[in-house]
Amino acid sequence: MTETEDVGLSNDTGTQFDSDLCDARSTDSSPSSSSRSRKATNKKKENTKYRAWGTQRRRVYRHREKRERDSFQRQVPALTDQMARLTQRHIKKTNETNPVSSASTWKTLARYQQEEILFGTQISELEAN
């Protein structure tokens, strides 16, 4: 090998080395673009997972609400009957314990006062005689 051939080889090697660096830079930039692409894909997947999770959560919530509503609607007739019975019991108990509210009590009181008046007039007539 001569010197010129040796220099030629070194120039070729330098050129080759420079092109390798350029290739390395280009490969370095491509992973960042592919990593961006992967990040975007992962973000889309996460977004899709989050949306699916939200959809599932809302579906379960609506199902639970529907079950509760149906349960309450089934309880309405029984609770209405129970309320009517309790109201009647309360009215009956109030009439028995509160003489002022009972109509028959007013009649009894009127008879009692009438008898007192009649009895009082009879006594005053006896005393006058």
Write out the chain's pLDDT in tens, 129 residues. Answer: 555 555 444 455 555 555 555 554 444 445 566 777 777 777 888 888 899 999 999 999 999 999 999 999 999 999 999 999 999 998 888 766 665 556 677 788 888 888 888 877 777 777 776
The whole-number pLDDT of residue 109 equals 82
67 token code pair: 């079950």
Whether the full predicted model's pTM is greater than 0.75, yes or no, is no
Residue 100 and residue 108: Cα distance in Å, rounded? 11
Residue 103 and residue 100: Cα distance in Å, rounded? 8
DSSP state of 100: G
